[in-house]
Amino acid sequence: MIELIAAGTIIGLLFHGIHRKVIARVQGRPGPPVWQEILHTLKFSFKETWIPKTASNPLFVFIVAVELAIWTGAIVIVGYGGSLLMLFAVFMLHKIVEHGLGLSSGSPYGKFGAIRSVMSAASEIPLFATIGGIYLITRTLNINEIVAWQQVHGWLIIPALPLAFAMYLVILSKMHYGPFSITKAKEIVSGVLTEHFGIYRAGLDVAFAMKTFVLIWAFVLIFFGALPWWLMLIAMLIVLLSLSFVCAFTPMLSPYDTVAFQAVVSGILIIYIFIIGVSL
Amino acid sequence: MRLFTLCVILLIAGEMSGLQPAWIFPLLFIIIFPGFILSLFSWWKASEEDEDLPFMGY
C-alpha cells in the first residue's frame, strides 16, 4: 500500500505538470516542463511559513492535515477495492475541506472561494447519479465486485455511457484551470488557497496530486475494469489528456453558469436513471 | 518529526514483514501520514529567525 501512496503522489504531481503542459501547447505557449509541479511542491515546502493574523490558527493548519488524510484514505479505499460509497464520502469531505480552507484564513478572497464552493455543490449531484446508476446495472457498489462484473459482462462504459459522462464531469469540476474551477479563480486571487502558502500549500499540493490520481484511477477501474499497471497508466494518461483538452478549449464559466450547467446535467441523469431503473 | 518518522518506518516495516494485521496499516497510516508530511516540511523549511541573504548587487 505504501508504494501505491508514494506512486499516487508522484504520478499525481506529474499529471498536474502534464495537464499544464497540454493546456499551454493547445494555447500556443511553450508551457512549463512536466515535472514543474514536483519542483513547485518542493519549492513551497522549503519556504519560510507563517500563519496570517486574521486566520483561525488551529483550523488553518488542521484543515491541510484533513485534506491529506482523506485523499490518502481514498487511495487505500480504491487500492483495497472498497465501497464506492466510501470513495464518494471522501469526495463530500473534500467539499467540507474546501469550505474550511477558505473560511479559516480570514481573507475575503478565501471566503469568496468558500462561498463558491458551497454554491457549486450541484457538482456533487452527478456523483450520486453515477452511484445510483452503477448499482442499478451491476447490483453492487463494491469496486472489486464491479471489476469482477466487467470480467463477465465486458466494459461497464458500454451500458453506462451517461454515467461515465457524469463521473467525467465530476472529475472535470475538480481539475485545475477547468471550466468549473470557480473556487480557485483568478478574479478572487487563488480563492480558497489564497492564504495557504509555504509548507501548507506544499501539503495541499501533495493532497491534490493524490486526488487527481485516485479520481482518474477510480474512473478507469469502474468503467474499464482491472488492467495491467502499465496499461492502467496509459488509460489514465488518455483520460487526463482529454480533460486537459477540455480545460484548454473551455473558458472558466461564471459561478451561476457553472451551477446551472451542472444542475441541467444532473436533471438529465436523474431522468436516465429513472428509465434504466424501470427497464432493468 | 522523529516521532512521525519512527511511526511511518514501523508501519511500513510491519506491513512488509507481514507481522501486523492487515487492517492496522491503512487505519494508522491515514492518521500518521498527514502529520509526517507536515512535520517533514516544517523540519526542512527555511528558518524564521535567520535573516535573508543580503542583496549583493551586480
What share of chain A in percent tops pLDDT 70? 99
What is the average pLDDT across A236-244?
94
User: Nearest-CA distance from B19 to chain A in Å?
Assistant: 15
Q: Please report, for residues A168, A249, A261, A262, the alpha-carbon distance to residue A265 in angstroms, rounded to integers and kept in the order given.
A: 12, 20, 6, 5
Best residue of B12, B30, B44, B49 to probe chain A, by most A CBs closer than 10 Å: B30
pLDDT for A239: 94
- CB A199 to CB B42 under 8 A? yes
pLDDT for A179: 86
pLDDT-derived band of residue A192, with 50, 70 and 90 as boundaries?
A: confident
Residue A75: partners with Cβ closer than 8 Å, 6 or more residues away: A1, A4, A5, A8, A210, A213, A214
The predicted-structure confidence for A6-47, as pLDDT tens digits, reads as follows 888 999 999 999 999 999 999 899 989 999 999 989 888 888
Residue with cell 495537464: A19
How far is Cα B8 from Cα B16, in angstroms, rounded to an integer?
12
pLDDT beyond 80 at B48? no
The predicted-structure confidence for A100-127, as pLDDT tens digits, reads as follows 888 888 888 888 888 888 877 777 777 7
pLDDT-derived band of residue B42, with 50, 70 and 90 as boundaries?
A: confident
Domain range spanning residue A64?
A: 2-279
Contacts by residues B24-33 (CB-CB < 8 Å, ≥ 24 positions apart): B25/A1, B25/A2, B26/A1, B26/A73, B26/A76, B26/A80, B29/A1, B29/A2, B29/A5, B29/A72, B29/A76, B30/A69, B30/A72, B30/A73, B30/A76, B31/A69, B32/B4, B32/B7, B32/B8, B33/A5, B33/A68, B33/A69, B33/A72, B33/B8
Which ipTM was obtained for this model? Answer: 0.79
Contacts with B, A 201-230, CB within 8 Å: 202-203, 206
**Based on the structure, what is the number of domains in chain A?**
1
What is the average pLDDT across A193-202?
86
The predicted-structure confidence for A212-239, as pLDDT tens digits, reads as follows 999 999 999 999 988 888 999 999 999 9
Note the pTM of the prediction, 2 decimals: 0.88
Q: Which three cell numbers stand for residue A262?
A: 451542472
What is the average pLDDT across B43-55?
68
Among A164-178, A204-218, A243-257, the range of highest mean pLDDT: A204-218
Report chain B residues touching chain A, CB-CB < 8 A. 11-12, 15, 25-26, 29-31, 33-35, 37-38, 40-42, 44-48
What is the average pLDDT across A185-211?
86
